[in-house]
Each structure stands twice: as structure tokens, then as C-alpha cells.
Amino acid sequence: MTETGSEGAATVTARAVGDRPAGHRDPEPAGLADLRRVGANPDFWYPVAVSGGVRRGKVLATAFAGERIALYRGRSGPVHALEDRCAHRQVPLSMGVVEGDVLRCCYHAWAYRGDGRISQIPYLSKGDGRPPRGVRGYPVREAYGLVFVFPGDPEKAARTPLPELPEHGSPTHRTMTFSRTVRCHYSFMHENLLDMNHQFLHRGVVGKLHPELLGHRTDARSVEARYLFTHTGGKRNRGAALLAAEGIGGDSADVMTIRTEYPYQTLDLVPENAERPAFRLWVAYVPEDAEQRTCHAYGLLMIEKPRMPGVLQLAWPLLRRFTERVFAEDRMAVEAEQRAWDEQGEDRNHEIFPLILDVRQVLRSNGVPLGPQPAACGHRPDVCG
């Protein structure tokens, strides 16, 4: 693991090259894979819906990296995730009807169990040809008010843990859930949150903020950065102070820790003179299309309740408006970055911040190359017709 302190904030990692001074860090060398052509590794649990959006007896269409997925909740309660096509005529199963615990295609009424196997073909007579065995069923779990699927090798699902979020559901915290589509490659979102030098973008919301990188560390799967935030003037949104327990944006100095732990991100803010974070943000960026030029951001903002009862509930609308405004400004910037990549056909960024060079390498090394799309049955040839 490489770690730097405040004295190395400008140059960061100490990797001397030739006669260059220790701590010098070159921009990305030629020959590295274009990060915007690296796909998200499917062998992790990814949220694809808010639990409340998958109602009992209903079907919801969603996707991961071009794989269309139909979610449905049967009579017994659990959510099931199936490849979103009928094995018969390829009509989307998300157009279907839930009957008990099976999902029936809207066209010829083929019925599927939660594992993707065919339960019934109403008009099949004895002696008729053997039908296909079904469609792919994805491992699925519900946690933290979200529906997670495992789009990769299903044999890895059982030994791959969900993220641990002890603050969610705790009596000391209240959670705000976000679910928004962003038209950009997921890597732009990791860079945006980790690089806090973009506060000029939010000057109309938080005033003038000065972020100082105290240090950062990186290993094969993660990058963590610590910033000291001080407010240096300008008008600030009331929601900013409320969110940070009247820390950020006042005359205080607050410490923000941001971490990409592939494939997720977290952000903690500890107000001055506090021992615990005032809030913690957990977020996942889930690619939707096969080219991964659009992602869906699922976020959980876990806010510590103040000592005075009812204060957080009264402040909730202000907090929601503040966070939505900040997110809208970030989305505007990252979508502009994606449009530039689309127009230029390559990544022409001249990145000089060593922290971002490190997170790009983490995303490259843990991701998978984008190439020709596999057959719809993916990792389950046994269920292909």
C-alpha cells in the first residue's frame, strides 16, 4: 500500500524515476488502456432497483451493462431476477404477469419460476417437442432498501459479501436514498467524488470552500483520500450547515474522507471537534447500456440524528433540496466530460492530480475490457434454449 501525508499532498507518491526528485509522479504513460473502454467487473453485488419499487405481484425492468433484467416479487415475498426475455419468442418478461410465485409471459403465457426454469406451457400436449429449459436466473438479495443482483459468475455469489453499512437502519441515523440515471461512464463518477478540487462548481450552493488534501493511500482495490475543508467566504446554502451539524460552510474546519473500495464509494464527514461522522454516504454506479456510457447512481446518505428530537425531520426537505442541487451540478459536469469523449473518440484528459491517477489505475485493474457482447445466456449455458 502507498500512503502519503500532508507534506506529500502536492507530489503524493514517492516513486523516483531516473534523476527526477523523489515524489515526482508522471501523468499517465502512453499505452495504458483507455479507462472509458473498461467495463465494470460483474463479479460483485450491484443494486439495480429500490426495494419499494418492486411491489408484490408486479414486474420491473432494469439492466446491468446491456443485460436486460426483469425483477418480480411473488406472493411469498422475495424478489426474483430473470433474464428479461421469454425463451419462446424473446418478448420481454418485464411485460409479463405475476401469478403466485411465477412470472408468466404476456404473449403465449409461458410461466417461469424464480430460478428461470419453465414452470408451465399451457398449450403443450403430450408428445410435443421438448421446450427449452428456460432463461437465466440471477442471484438476488435485498439489503439497505435496495435490490442487489450478482450479474457475474453465479458460483461466486455466495462467497462475495454485500457492502457493510452498520449506520443504515441504526436508531442513531436516518437514511436518504438516491436513485438517478447519469449519462456517463461510471469512472467519471468515481473521479468526481474523489477529486474535491472541483468545489468552484458548487460555489453558488456552498460558497467558497478551500479543500486541502491531507494525504491519501492506495492498494490494489482501493484509494482513500482525506481532505480538510474550510469555508473562506461567500453565501452558502442552509442545507450544507444542517447536513454537517453546522460544520461545513461556517468558520469551522471539517475533515472529509472519501474512499473508492472497488466497485463502491463512501464519503464520511467529521465536523470540527466531533468524534464521529455527521454523515456517511455510500454509493454505487451501475452501468446500464452495453457500451457503459450511461450509469445509474444508487446512493445512501446516512445522517446522524441530533440530540434534539424532531430537528432532523424538520430539516429533511432542506437537506434533500441541497443534496439534489449538488448532485445536479455534478451530473452536468460529468455528462459534459462524457460528451467530449464521445466527440473526440478517446480520452484526451490531461490529468495531473496523483490521487486521480491512482483511482484510474484501480478501476482499470479491477474492471474488465469492453468487447463484443456475449450471448444473452451469459454465464449459464445450461439454461439456454
What is the per-residue pLDDT for 383?
43
Nearest to 145 by CA among 126, 162, 131: 162
Q: Which residue shows C-alpha cell 433474464?
A: 83
161 secondary structure, DSSP code: P
Q: What are phi and psi of 176, to 5 degrees?
A: -105, 125
112 secondary structure, DSSP code: E
**Burial class of residue 303 (count of CB atoms within 10 Å of its CB; 0-12, 13-18, 19+):** buried
200: left (phi over 0), alpha (psi -120 to 50) or beta: alpha
Contact 49, 62 (CB under 8 A): yes
What is the per-residue pLDDT for 342?
96
pLDDT tens string, the chain, 385 residues long: the values are 655 554 333 333 333 333 333 444 556 766 788 999 999 999 999 999 999 999 999 999 999 999 999 999 999 999 999 999 999 999 999 999 999 999 999 999 999 999 999 998 998 887 777 677 899 999 999 999 999 999 999 999 999 999 999 999 999 999 999 999 999 999 999 999 999 999 888 888 887 888 899 999 999 999 999 999 887 765 555 555 555 554 333 456 789 999 999 999 999 999 877 888 889 999 999 999 999 999 999 999 999 998 887 888 888 998 999 899 999 999 999 999 999 999 999 888 888 899 999 999 999 999 999 976 444 444 443 444 3
CB atoms inside a 10 Å sphere around CB 362: 20
12: left (phi over 0), alpha (psi -120 to 50) or beta: left
Whole-number Å distance between alpha carbons of 301 and 317: 14
Q: What are phi and psi of 355, to 5 degrees?
A: -60, -40
Whole-number Å distance between alpha carbons of 178 and 167: 16
What is the per-residue pLDDT for 372?
61
Question: What is the grid cell recorded at 119?
Answer: 414452470
What is the per-residue pLDDT for 269?
92
What is the per-residue pLDDT for 180?
96
Nearest to 65 by CA among 85, 52, 48: 48
What is the per-residue pLDDT for 11?
34
What is the per-residue pLDDT for 8?
37
